[in-house]
Structure 1
Amino acid sequence: MSRPFKPYPFAPRHYAGEVPPLVDGHDPVRRPVAIVGGGPVGLTLALALARQRVPSVLIEADDSVCTGSRAICISRRSLEIFKRLGVVDGFLQKGLPWTGGRSFYRDTEVFRFAMHQDDEQSLPPMINIAQYQIEQLLLDAVEQHADLIDICWQTRVTGIEQKPEGGARLALQTGDSHWTLHADWVVACDGGRSTIRDALGLKLTGATYEGRYVIVDIELDSARATERLAYFDPPSNPGSTVLVHKQPDNVWRIDYQLRDDEDPDAAVKPENVMPRVQSVLDSMGETGAWSPIWITVYKANALTLERYRHGQVLFAGDAAHLVPIFGVRGANSGIDDADNLGWKLGCVVNGTASPGLLDSYSDERVFAARENLSYGMKSTEFMAPPSFAFDLMRTAVLGLAGQHAAVRPLINPRQTHAIAYAESPLNARAEDTFSGGPQPGTVLPECRLLKRADDGAHVAIHLTDLLGPCFTALRFGSHDDAAQDDVWQQLERTLADQRVPFRTVTLTKGTKETTGTQRDTPNATGLHAIDQTGRLHDMFDATPGTVYLIRPDGHVLARSRNGNVQTILRALTTTLKI
């Protein structure tokens, strides 16, 4: 049974709209970066810039974090980004981890999928967490950087003008006050109805699907495991597709497809929604009391801008691309945008890279968007067939899947995954001597390692624990190459003087008994880790002297079988001066 509407079990903080001290209606402080939109993408970007000591101002039209049911799934890739930014703990404490899901045709289970998960992983493949919780966790971290990040709440952009001498002037409104702000760079993270995109006359291109889904959040206390559940043509909702996700705080998200003959306006009326939700819960065997919280309607889009850099203005998240919800690529792809842009824009503002580096942001993330759109469109066409032919194909697949394992992969929801920038202009030319290992442009795989603690004990860590918001040289060494340490430490000091974020990590193969040398003592400088099983060396096709250069966003930039300081410095110089 259902009860009247309840609020979300979440109490957001609300902020007043305040205008900075003005001179003739203008903020006299020229900002290095203005970020328009304080959602997950804008907040992540502000944190990424702050880690490089780059000031920014966030311009947010609302007075708090978002309301309602929006993004609910955060991928391992996004968690890795949050880990490098130092904010992952809150996500792991609040989110509900899951590793797979099940699909049903009518009343028969026809497919199970499992995302990659083994003992080597430090993070779950996916967590469920509501967007208002995502934003609050990021906002809490942003507020710890008040010296670098300003937030203009309840402030709307009413116009933008790029200046011939550089930068852009934003026309803003806070309450009844109209004022302007000048920024060297403007990043539009202002969502699918982007004011900045409209002001520049830019259009998204791609496909819009006619099928609509009703999204319902309910409160329900249930011990059911967290997994993705999909029901095709269930007896409870004939002719419809239903998706079910469990979220923290006893909130459940139920999405169900509207039939072509249903009126979307009538479909979201509570008297029409409640019986359909009840029928879904009945079919699942959920007998507890529940309360509706939120109802809305959703239409799938697969759209993108052709370029994400337009002069001094850059686009990220839904302002740059709209991805169907199936496969949970929306917020996750936007967080990846912010991670990619954050280090590049930071290097440009800090004067360590030419503005041309920002063109590679557009190249890489447009490529990623098209990959995500391709997968998202395939998932959408299966979840909500756009034509009679697609519907006929899906019915055949679902009907055969119960008895024929070969067709079951066609039901795969194609969950989001890290995109490799195979054709990135930043990729250093790969050496022919590698027969395996991650190539330039790919994201590092995870692996368990050991590290010697200050008390001399060896503690378990993971490869991603050694990465930060900086370039990282992974040196695969041996016990007798300590003489090279001074050379690499000098490189670190030289790059630090040039404000290039950089660190070296030495990875030694062997057991903790054979690595208790001076190089592992607390007095040794630099980061050292032990590949106790040799698995990482095998994964990277690494021998003593091999070096992998990792970008601040965790992608491989270059690799060398006999890497040295000159090789790494050359790759860095090429990247930053592109």
Structure 2
Amino acid sequence: MNAEFKPYPFTATKYAACIPALNDGVETKRHAVTIVGGGPVGLCVALGLANHGVASVLIEADDSVCYGSRAICISRRSLEIIERLGALDGFLETGLPWEGGRSFYRDTEVLHFRMPQDENQKLPPMVNLAQYHIEQFLLDAAEKRSDLIDIRWQTRVAAIDSRPDGATLSLSTPEGDYALRSDWVVACDGGRSTIREALGLQLKGTSYEGRYVIVDIELESDRPTERLAYFDPSSNPGSTVLVHKQPDNVWRIDYQLRDGEDADEAVKPENVMPRVQSLLDMMGERGAWSPIWITIYKANALTLERYRHDRVLFAGDAAHLVPIFGVRGANSGIDDADNLAWKLALAVRGLASDALLDSYSDERVFATHENLSYGTKSTEFMAPPSFAFDLMRRAVLSLAVKHEGVRSLINPRQTSAICYTESPLNAAPGESCAFTAGPVPGAVLPECPVTIVARGSEREGHLTDLIGPCFALLHFSEDGSIPAEFAALEAALDERKLPFRLLALSAHAHTDQTRDFAHDHTGRLFAMFDATPGTLYVIRPDGHVLARWKAPHAAQIAAAIDSALHLRSTH
């Protein structure tokens, strides 16, 4: 044990503030979109907009990416989104993939869970990666899009004047203050959101009393990467301890404070070090270690009632605070960004009514309530809020030692993709009644290997490789042929400049290469989608199903897309 703090094995670049051209203290250029907050969510929004050709200004109060592990688990769904944003390589090269975890009650293993993983998947269920790495890899991708992403460091929002046609932000920097005008503002400025406070908005829900100390340490170990949970361990009796291995020999340890413990005293190194050492002794880790970072955390299950307020949109922790148990925080924020970016881009480009943005709020508020439902159950088990919950937990853990059927109650319910079952964008349910299987409208496109044939060459790939910053029409046929009326629809939508792609999915390989197509070489794709020749699915730019038919006409497809893009506002 080394009592001296070590720096992270990662050095962040420091950035200076800059002042744009001004006229009487106001920036001369009015911007289409200004994003407040340069964390993972803000960077994802900026990259998503850039994929649609929409420029943004990103305001960040700090001078570099964050310090401390913070968010550490990135889900498969988030990795799919990050791949479309052009930042996946660093996540896979540096991150530590894992598929499951173990829970222990005192000295006995009571649960060994595994997340869904099968031969159809391209990406791992989860990757461990500290938030400073997450931000850096997204920042690297953003800097490659500097023509469309203007990042302004050391710039704080002092005030906002929000109006029905836009907003004016009062900004403060070490180099001076100025005002910026923007058509749209996306608030990604975290749990203590300045924008949210300035607009007088409040998060609603439940704040839990249970507190956790979070410690990052450096420890060299060959232990496999998995999620470890210890209930009532000998190292910290009566509490819960979570352990995650991270890249660069960094370990993240979260341990629960006992009732009555003083938070200020609890985070002092002289009180943290013995507890960590006791935990490592219990785990059988004998190597030398050093602390890096210590903080404290209290679980919250809170959300705004709406995420759109005129021209201001909220995402990530600025919109909702989700308990860490089940790793839904950063992952739900990345999903917010993915949902918002394409809708905002189409509204900015005049390709959709801005009422489309009401569906961002509808869908992501629904998703937050889903996440809070699972997160609340996990929190009540991990940090019981009352004597009754504590009694229930002890009973479950005691029974789980000998009764396997009880062990599912210990499962932390890791984050998974949300199905927007009640989305106002979904095609009428009647259109889907002919299907007995396959993804319903609102569901995320499932993964499946395919052979992709493009420009005369072919490669092994996956279905998600075909999804880009556009609507995708997946047409199933025996030979990859496309009906003439669908080709005409493709031309009509292209003339409207609507981002759109018609994709042929064939049951068999064929030699006609007049059009790019994907071949179901595994024989699993058609059954997965309950598809027969003529079946068609419409996929949104964020990978969710918009509509599906067994044998549609081009007019039905066009109507479904137009209905989504020109959705009448209930705002």
Tell me which residue corresponds to 1:459. 459
Task: Tell whether the 8 Å contact from 1:350 to 1:499 is kept in structure 2 after alignment.
Answer: no
Secondary structure in structure 2 of the residue aligned to 1:444: coil
Q: Which runs of 5+ in 2 are unaligned?
A: none
Q: Contact 2:163–2:310 at 8 Å: present in 1 too? A: no
Given residue 263 of structure 1, which amino acid in structure 2 is its aligned partner? D
Provide, for residues 117-138 of structure 1, a one-character-per-residue CA deviation record: whole Å limited to 9, x for no partner.
1111000000000001000000
Amino acid at match of 2:469: P
Report the counterpart of residue 548 of structure 2 in structure 1: 559
1:442-494 CA-to-partner distances (Å, cap 9, x unmatched) read 111111111236675x5321111111121100000122x7362x543443333
**Which whole-Å CA distance do the structure 2 matches of 1:3 and 1:504 have between them?**
61
Counterpart in the other structure of 2:107: 107
TM-score, length of structure 1 as denominator length: 0.96
TM-score of the superposed pair, with normalisation by structure 2: 0.97
Show structure 1 runs of 5+ residues with no match. Answer: none
Alignment of 1:354-503 (within 5 A): 354-430=353-429, 431=431, 432-452=433-453, 456=457, 458-479=458-479, 482=481, 484=483, 487-503=485-501
Q: Which residue is 2:502 aligned to?
A: 504
2:144 counterpart SS class: helix
Q: Give deviations 1:339-378, integer Å, cap 9, x for gaps.
A: 0000000000000000110000000000000110111110
Asked if structure 1 preserves the Cα contact closer than 8 Å seen for 2:449 and 2:522, the reply is no
Alpha-carbon distance in 2 for matches of 1:82, 1:110: 35
Offset at residue 497 of structure 1 (A): 2.8
Q: Which amino acid aligns with 1:247?
A: Q
In structure 2, the residue corresponding to 1:371 is in which secondary structure? Answer: helix
Structure 1's 230 and 91: CA in aligned 2 closer, same or farther, altered over 3 A? same
| Residue of structure 2 in register with 1:237 after alignment | 236
Give the aligned partner of residue 536 of structure 2: 547
CA deviations over 1:218-267 (Å, ceiling 9, x no partner): 00111110000000001111111100000001000000000002111111
Secondary structure at the residue paired with 1:505? strand
* Residue type at the aligned position of 1:555: H
Answer yes or no: is 1:572 the counterpart of 2:561: yes
1:317-336 to structure 2, matched below 5 A, reads: 317-336=316-335
Check conservation: 1:447, 1:536, Cα contact below 8 A: yes
Q: Quote the residue 2:18 is aligned against.
A: 18
Greater Cα shift, 335-344 or 491-500: 491-500
Question: Within the alignment, does 1:33 sit opposite 2:33 as a pair?
Answer: yes
Q: State the SS of the aligned residue for 1:482.
A: coil
Q: Is the 8 A contact 1:209 1:386 kept in 2?
A: yes
8 Å Cα contact 1:547-1:564 kept in structure 2? no
1:562 counterpart SS class: coil
Which letter does structure 1 place at the counterpart of 2:373? Answer: S
> In the aligned structure 2, how far is the partner of 1:116 from the partner of 1:101?
12
Contact 1:159 1:171 in 2 (8 A): yes
Report the number of matched residues.
565
Shift of 1:2: 2.9
Distance across 2 between alignment mates of 1:110 and 1:483: 54
1:260-312 CA-to-partner distances (Å, cap 9, x unmatched) read 02111111110110010011111111111111000011000000000000011
- Superposition map of 1:285-296 within 5 A: 285-296=284-295
State the secondary structure of the residue aligned to 2:29: coil
Aligned-residue Cα RMSD (Å) equals: 1.2
Distance 1:218 1:483, change over 3 A: closer
Residue 170 of structure 1 aligns with which residue? 169
User: How far does residue 162 in structure 1 lie from its aligned partner after superposition?
Assistant: 1.8
Amino acid at match of 1:506: A
Q: Secondary structure at the match of 1:314?
A: strand
8 Å contact from structure 1 (residues 3, 290) kept in 2:
no
Quote the Cα distance in structure 2 between the aligned partners of 1:455 and 1:351: 35
For residue 342 of structure 2, what is the aligned residue in structure 1? 343
* SS at 2:23 equivalent: coil
Amino acid of the residue matched to residue 353 of structure 1? Answer: A
Q: Whole-Å Cα distance in 2 between the matches of residues 415 and 167 of structure 1? A: 38
Name the SS for the 1:184 alignment partner: strand
Report SS of the residue matched to 2:22.
coil
Written as runs of structure 1 = structure 2, the 5 A alignment for 1:75-224 is 75-164=75-164, 166-175=165-174, 177-224=176-223
Q: Report which stretch shifted further, 116-125 or 82-91.
A: 82-91
In 2, Cα distance between equivalents of 1:238 and 1:309: 45
SS at match of 2:211: strand
- Counterparts of 2:355 and 2:161, CA distance in 1: 21
Aligned match of 2:47: 47
- CA distance in 2: counterparts of 1:493 and 1:59, whole angstroms: 39
C-alpha contact (below 8 Å) 1:154/1:175 kept by paired residues: yes
> Matched residues in 2 for 1:550 and 1:249: separation?
39
CA distance in structure 2 between the partners assigned to 1:40 and 1:263 by the alignment: 32
Structure 1 equivalent of residue 281 of structure 2: 282
* Identical columns (%): 67
Partner of residue 529, structure 1 = 518
The answer on whether the counterparts of 2:17 and 2:175 sit within 8 Å (CA) in structure 1 is no
Structure 1 CA distance for aligned equivalents of residues 482 and 274 of structure 2: 73
Tell me the equivalent position of 2:312.
Answer: 313
SS across alignment from 2:19: coil
The 1:483–1:392 alpha-carbon spacing in structure 2 relative to 1, beyond 3 Å, is closer
Determine the C-alpha separation between the residues in 2 that align with 1:342 and 1:261.
45
Which amino acid is 1:561 matched to?
Answer: K
The one-letter amino acid of 2:224's match is: A
Query: Does residue 516 of structure 1 match 2:476?
Result: no
Q: Give the Cα–Cα distance (whole angstroms) in 2 for the partners of residues 248 and 103 of structure 1.
A: 22
What's the offset of the Cα at 1:90? Answer: 1.5
Once residues 521 and 58 of structure 2 are traced to their aligned partners in structure 1, the CA distance between those partners, rounded to angstroms, is 45
2:101/2:226 contact within 8 Å kept: yes
- Post-superposition CA distance 1:160-203 (Å, at most 9, x none): 11235x11111111115121111000010000000000000000
Q: Deviations over 1:368-404 (max 9, x none)?
A: 0011011111000000000000000000000010110
